[in-house]
Structure 1
Amino acid sequence: MIEFSNWDLLRNLLLAARWTVLLSLTAFIGGGLVGLLLTAMRLTRRRALHWFVRLYVEVFQGTPLLMQLFLVFFGLSLMGFDISAWAAAAIALTLFTSAFLTEIWRGCIDTLPKGQWEASRCLGLSFTQTLKNIILPQAIRVALAPTVGFSVQVIKGTALASIIGFVELTKAGTMLNNATFEPFKIFTMVALIYFLLCYPLSLASQRLEKKFNGAR
């Protein structure tokens, strides 16, 4: 058994937490961009695009994130692609995040009065102009709170990346536990760091919901 001081344990966990934050940001930004594209496709009148987006969302919402990580990491390796654990985790989490953000944003847009689309067509506005100038400014106010709230799920989802060998906060905690045999102390520290990462976002989501009156 290796002896570590409490500061040594905490310092190593904080260093690993940097990768948790970086992976979360990568997944959220990438998922946001893909989700925005899918949401725009969902709003068009083309049925083929509707079915594609619906199938995409159903697949990634209906399968465990752990299986998606396995499929990306081992599947791409079997096809001859040399992919690192970091890249596999980023791709899987981006796909997972985009599916949920697409549904969140579609639902927020659906809460807006349908008459606004019809009025925009009567004014001769194109689909892009309607989306950019009328729909999105209103939908953003409604979607901001649930979007920030979902970022908490993204952070917690990064813990599963440890299964494919990516060293983030959970993996670092497991490695330190194997070296010290002090699971209660180490995983208490891990849980506390996750709480400190997630609680401010949960609090921000609640405040944004109250500010923009999203529930009403």
Structure 2
Amino acid sequence: MAREADLLLPSLGIFPLHLAVSELVPEDDAVWTALEHPLSFAAPASEVADGWLRTQDELRTLQHRQDALRDALAAPDIESLMRLLPALCSGVTGRAAVTHPSGRNRTEPFMGVSVAFLSPEEGIASFERMRVWLRENADLPAVIRASVALATVTNVHAFGDGNGRVARILANHVLLANTAPGAYVPLHEYALGSRRSLTFRIREAELRNDWSGLVGFVSTVVTHWATRSTT
């Protein structure tokens, strides 16, 4: 499935910001059911707004930082990437990137559950493992590599706000390496419309080392978006 989705990536055209989400992916589209996780029923329904909201900021930031991101991932050390990630975060939030306050090492409880943050040292080590893995596995499908990048940045959760947006920027950078400038895969909208199933699948990868659901989600999104994106 991942390799089939990869074949469609070069066909993606310039992102259609002038069109509403509902025009491209209506509420009754079968893709929403296909993407849902078995536990999605427990997540609150989220409205998919028509204005692309965060996605347009992600696209703009990626276009501005594409070359720097490529160089940082290929650099001989982690320093360039660690300087760039806060810049990506600032680009999508519109304010200086802020790391978690000292002593706060868990998320706020949600449905009785909270998630522990990595320490700064553990986070840097995780980013370095991701960087090395992406470089050493360049022959794998971009969908698989993008899934690893997406999960890593999300799970490190280095910033007080903007982690998901930075994760989606990095995932799109990996996905679109051989795609025309201006393309973008709107993972945010697909995640909202499928009742947060992306979050469940990222947690499965983190806690169970089960990547099948996450790779399947990204593959399905790429395949579906390729039929909607203008060329």
TM-score by length of 1: 0.31
TM-score by length of 2: 0.30
Relative contact order: is structure 1 or structure 2 higher (C-alpha 8 Å, sep ≥ 6)?
Answer: 2
Between Structure 1 and Structure 2, the one with more helix by share is 1
The structure whose Rg is larger is: 1
